[in-house]
Structure 1
Amino acid sequence: MADHPTYQLETLAVHAGQEESDPATNSRAVPIYQTAAYTFDDSKHAADLFALARPGNIYTRLMNPTTNVYETRIAAMEGGVGALGTATGAAAITYAVLNVASAGDNIVALSTLYGGTFALFTHTLVQFGIECRLIDPDRPGDLAGLVDDHTRLVFGETICNPKLNVIDIDAWAKASHDLGLPFMIDNTVATPYLCRPIEHGADVVVHSATKYMGGHGTSMGGAIVDAGTFDWAAHADRFPVMATPDASYHDVVWTDAAGPAAYITRARTVLMRNTGATLSPMNAWIILQGIESLHVRMDRHCENAQKVAEYLLGHPAVAWVNYPGLEDNEYHEVADRVLTGKGYSGLVSFGLTAGRQAGATFVEALQLFSHLANIGDAKSLVIHSASTTHSQLNDQELIAAGVAPEMVRLSVGIENVDDIIADIDQALAVTGK
C-alpha cells in the first residue's frame, strides 16, 4: 500500500495497513494476533525496542499486529502520519487531551459537544486540575478572548451530536493556529468518508470507532489520528512535554525522536503504556470488518436520513426538523464546504409538537427502531437525549449543547427507507393521540 499513495478512500478502507498476505502465515485476511506479549531475539533486541531505536512488538498494551492494521488503515483514511487505537472513543478523547494538558492548564471546547465529552471536559478533567472553557461553535473570532498562556488546545466535533451543527473547520483551525494552538476534532459522526478534517487544517482527529466505523453495534473502540502538521517545537514554551526532555521516558525529546509523529508517539509510549486503555486485538479485527464496508453503508445511511428528514418536515406532529442536508438548514452551506459532497451522515433530530412528555410515547411506539444509547449502527436507533445521554446537564447546559427538551434523535439505519418511514409514521400517529 505504501507504493500507492493515490488510492481513493474506498480502496484504502479495504486494503490500507495490510500487505497482500500475512507474512507469517500467507493468510489473505487480517489475522487476529491474540497474544499479550512477544519474545525478544536477544538482550540487545529487547533494549533497542524499549529505547525506540528500532520498531517492533513488545507488549499488546503498546502494540499488536492486528491493531497495527487498524491504526494504519484509519490513519491512511484520515490522511495522518499515524494513529493510536484505544479501547473506546472516550479513551481516545481523554488521551488526546492529556497528551498535551496537565494540572493548571486549560482547554477550549465548542459548547455543542456530545454529552459524554461534555461531562468529561467540565467535570472529570476538573478533578485533575484541567479547566474547560466553552465557546459558541459559530464564533471562531471569539477564541482569542478565552485563550491565555495555559491554554493547550481547541476541541470540536465535525458534526456535533446531537445538535447536528456542522462547524467551519477551516475557520476554527486558522483561529487556533493564529494563537499557537492545535485544533483537535471528533470526526465520529462524519467519518473520513464524509469529511477529512486534516485537509481543512485540523491537527488531531479522534473517533469512536464503536459507531459508523464498526457499523454493527458489536465492538467498542476508538482512535486518535495525528496529522503530523503542528509544529510542537516552535511552541516549546507552551508544549514542553513534546519539545523538552521527558523524564518519564529516558529524557527523550519527542520532536527529535519522532519528528512529525511526535504527538502520536508520545500518546502511545507514555499514556497508553502507563494507563492502558488498550484496544483488544479481537475488537480491532471486528471493527476492521466494518471499515471495509464503511463507504457502502454511509451512502445508504445518508440517503435514508435525507428522505426521513424530508418526510418529517411536513408532519403536523413535528415542530421542527434538524438535518444539515435540508436546504433551509442553517448549517447547509457550511456542510457543503466542509463535507466531501457524499452526504450529511445518518443522524436526524426533530422536535415533537406535543413537547417533552411526548418523547417517551413516541419512542415506545416505534417497532423497527431500537431504543438505546448508540449511533452509527446498521439498524435504526432512537433516543430522547434530554432524559438519557444529556440527563446530567441542567437546563442552561442543555440549551448550550443544543438539546431541546422535546428533541428526539434518530440514527437512521440501512433498512428499506419505506419501512423506516412507515414505523415513524405510526409512532407519530400514536403520539398525536
Structure 2
Amino acid sequence: MIEHLLLGQTLQFTGDALADWQAATRHDSAGAVLIRDGRISDVGPAETLRRTYPQAPVTDYGDALICAGFVDAHMHYPQTTMIASWGKRLIDWLNTYTFPEEAKFSDPAYADMIAGRTLDLALAHGTTTLTSFCTIHPASVDAWFQAAAARGMAVVGGKTCMDRNAPDDLRDTAQTAYDDSKGLLERWHGQGRATYAITPRFSPTSTPDQMSALGALWAEHPDCLMQTHLSEQVDEIAWVRDLYPDARDYLDTYEAHGLLGARGLYGHAIHLEPREIDRLADVGAAVIHCPTSNTFIGSGLFDMMGLASAGLRIGLATDTGGGSSFSMLRVMAATYEIGQLRGTPLHPAQLMWLATEGSAQALHVGGQIGHLGTGAMADLCVLDLASTPAIAQRRASADDIWEALFPTLMMGDDRAIRDVWVAGRRVAAG
C-alpha cells in the first residue's frame, strides 16, 4: 500500500455547478487529500487527515489550491505544431493548414513524437485527460494511446475517417473506415486507461455510406464513444445542406446513419436549430464547448446557459490547434468572455466545474476522473494562485476564494501550475 498526503486549499464539487454552484461547491482553506495506490482515498480538513494517517508522507502546498486535473473534451493532437496559424475560415483553414500537417502522420515516428509532445504540453498546463481526433492513419491512433499509457494518463482517441472532400492521401473508404476503426477499437478500448471513440471528422468529409458503416460499428460497440463536429460555422452548415439535401438539419445527417446517441460527443454546436437541441437532450448526448477556437476562427458564440437549461451535457475543450492555447485556464477565460457577450457570465466555480467534472461527465467517466472525491483516480492539479506579479497583487486584495481564484482563471498560464499528479504519481513540479 502506497500512501501520500497532500495539504493545501481544496476545491470539490458535489453536484451540477451550472445549475447551482453554491450548493454544489465545497472549499476548504486548510484541506488535505490522501492518495492511496493511485486513487483518492480521503478528502477533508488537514488537521483531521494528519491525525488519521500519521504515517503517510506529506507534501504541503501551503495556500495553493488542490483540484481535480483538467479534462480536455475535444482536441486534435495532430494539429499541435500548427497551433496559432494565422486566421482563416474553417474550410480554408482545414485545406491550408490541417490537411498538409495531418498527411505527415503516415510516418509512425512522426506520430510518436507529436503524441508525446502534446501530452507533455498538456500536463505542463494541468490537463490530465484529453479527448483527441487522430488522423486517418491507424499508426496515429497507436501512437496516441501508447504515449498516454507510458504516462499513466486516461485519454480518448480514434481514427479520423474521411472518404470525400479531403486530399487523396487522407481519404479512406466506407469499408476501410469500418475495418480500421474496428481493429483499433478491439486493440485499445478499455485497455488500461484508454477509451476508443469512433470518429467521423464531420458530415462534409464522409459519404452517407461511410457514415452508415461507422453507425453500424457503433451499434456493435455501444460502450464506445463517438466524436465528431456539429454546426461550427454558418457556411459549413450551408455546405452540409448542399451535400445532404434530404436531411432535416445538420444533426439529422448523423441521426439518419446511426451516429446520434448518449455516448456521442458533438464539438462546437454553436448554431443549433430547436429540433437539434431537443434531440440531443432526448438522447442524453454531450456538446463540447471550444471557446478559444470559436473566437480564433470566428465561428460564433456558444449558448452555454441556454443549452444547459435545455438539459444537454456540456464539456469544455481547447480544440487544439483551432484553439489557440493548450491551457484550460485560457479556455475558462474565453468561456467567461463569451458568457459576458451573451449576457450570462459564469461564476468561477462554474468554470472550474466545466473544466473538470462537467467534461468528465460528458465523457461518461464522472466520479472516475475530473473529480476530487473518494474513489476517483488521483489525477490532480495544484494551482498557484499568485503565479505572476499581476495575479499576486490582485489576489492580495481578495475577500474570498472566488476573488482569489478568478484572476488565475483570467490571466493564468502554465506558470500557475504548481504541480500535477497522474494516477497518484507526481509528474510535474513548478
TM-score range, shorter chain: under 0.3
Q: Which is richer in strand?
A: 2
Q: Tell which structure's C-alpha radius of gyration is larger.
A: 1
Quick one: higher RCO (CA 8 Å, sep 6+), 1 or 2? 2
